[in-house]
Amino acid sequence: MSTHPAVVAVKPRAPLEIRNVPTVKPGKGEIRVKNEWTASTPLDLHQADGGLLIAEWPHLLGDGVVGPVVEVGEGVDNLTVGDQVFGFTWRTAKEKGHQKYVTSDAFLFGKLPPGIEPQAAVTLPNNAVTAWHTINVELGIDLPWPKPANFSPKEAESPFLVWGGSSSVGQFSIQLLKYYGFRNILTTASKRHTDYLKELGAAQVFDYNDPGVIETIVHARGDKAIPYIIDSIGSLDGSIRPLSKIATKGSKVAVMLPVVVRDATASLEPVYAMDVTENVHWAEGVDVTGVRTHFYLKKLQPEVIPTLLAEGSLKPNRQKIIEGPTLLARAQASMDALRNKEASGERLVWRVSDD
Ligand SMILES: NC(=O)c1ccc[n+]([C@@H]2O[C@H](COP(=O)([O-])OP(=O)(O)OC[C@H]3O[C@@H](n4cnc5c(N)ncnc54)[C@H](OP(=O)(O)O)[C@@H]3O)[C@@H](O)[C@H]2O)c1
């Protein structure tokens, strides 16, 4: 049986390791991709440091893939060997992102648009899908595809608050909302990201490090509820508690899970929760929900995301390329950078295949 290297977490907070895992032949409807670049996302850290949603160790990490199709299973008619594709794959070991070969359903991939660098494209899949899912499914906003000419949502002028606009989820949420015609997008971010987030589509950017930020946003909203709020951060103290003071009767709030009760640091274990109503008081009439994109399987990736990327309606996240002599060195350096919060408005991406 052929094997290839994969990055695994062997137990909570232990250094990452490389294991040789089976190279799986694609079945019906599946393709095999030679994975050239991947990204590290907070879920990798939540899993490696906190064991989040891990049933069995060692655990293969990652969910972002980009590279050429090297094998095609029966019944796949939209992709062929040699096509450059990118995708968000996460359900089983054979499709995890931090390994050299990935075998998964063809509908979880889209073609890389011409002129887009693979390391830029790999910043999209996970969080562009998450942003779409959050707006469309969790908040119940219609996102027709293809978008009809002159489409305008009925809430186009209503305030829409995206807490944490510089995060990857935040950047894609702002861009999708702009694409669909929302014009009053409010967001929070560190000051250094203000101009960029306005370029992406935010109307106002509030500095979340400002101790008066809650009062400033409450003042800006006046007596009216902000109808839609996305919490792109999911931090108990950093976003959920502040939002519980901003949301009022009539607000719908979608919070990224897990709730980060305490961040991982080099010396402290992280603490997570899955209930967005625990330890916080939401005003009566606020509709709050926790987002789990992993329950969402639709054909967003073959068509919607490549199209929006190709036409420039979705810009990739800026990238911080993690270098290193080996796959393991790059994976570990990226994990350490996540833990040390070195990604500010950018995605940590690294090469999987050396050849
Ligand atoms: N449940 C799901 O389906 C799902 C899917 C995707 C993501 N998530 C979760 O969503 C969270 C965000 O993921 P991501 O990949 O978008 O994160 P990310 O890009 O790594 O987030 C880093 C950014 O967050 C900003 N930030 C940190 N704390 C903040 C705060 N209190 N208020 C406002 N901004 C803050 C930082 O801004 P500065 O550097 O300027 O401070 C930085 O730019 C993670 O916990 C992830 O696991 C959940």
What is the tens place of the pLDDT at every residue in 185-219?
A: 999 999 999 999 999 999 999 999 999 999 999 99
pLDDT, averaged across the chain: 96
Which regions of the chain carry the CATH code 3.90.180.10?
Answer: 3-123+316-351
Which regions of the chain carry the CATH code 3.40.50.720?
Answer: 127-294
Whether ligand 1 lies within 6 angstroms of the CB of 188 is answered as: yes
Q: Is 149 exposed, middle or buried (0-12, 13-18, 19+ CB in 10 A)?
A: exposed
The confidence band for 261, taking pLDDT boundaries of 50, 70 and 90, is very high
First-to-last C-alpha distance (Å) of the chain: 21
For ligand 1, pick from 167, 261, 262, 319 the residue to mutate: most ligand atoms within 8 Å of CB.
Answer: 167
The protein residue whose alpha carbon is closest to atom 22 in ligand 1 is 167
pLDDT score of 295 more than 80: no
The pLDDT of residue 298:
62
Tell which phi-psi region holds residue 197, choosing left (phi > 0), alpha (psi between -120 and 50) or beta. Answer: alpha
pLDDT score of 296 more than 80: no
pLDDT score of 43 more than 90: yes
The confidence band for 302, taking pLDDT boundaries of 50, 70 and 90, is confident
pLDDT score of 184 more than 90: yes
CA atoms within 13 A on the CB side of 49: 24
The protein residue whose alpha carbon is closest to atom 4 in ligand 1 is 256
Ligand 1 atom closest to the Cα of residue 257 is 1
The confidence band for 1, taking pLDDT boundaries of 50, 70 and 90, is confident
Percent of the chain at pLDDT exceeding 90: 94
What number does CATH give the domain 3-123+316-351?
A: 3.90.180.10
Q: Is 193 helix (H, G, I), strand (E, B) or coil?
A: helix
Percent of the chain at pLDDT exceeding 70: 99
What number does CATH give the domain 127-294?
A: 3.40.50.720
Tell which phi-psi region holds residue 279, choosing left (phi > 0), alpha (psi between -120 and 50) or beta. Answer: left
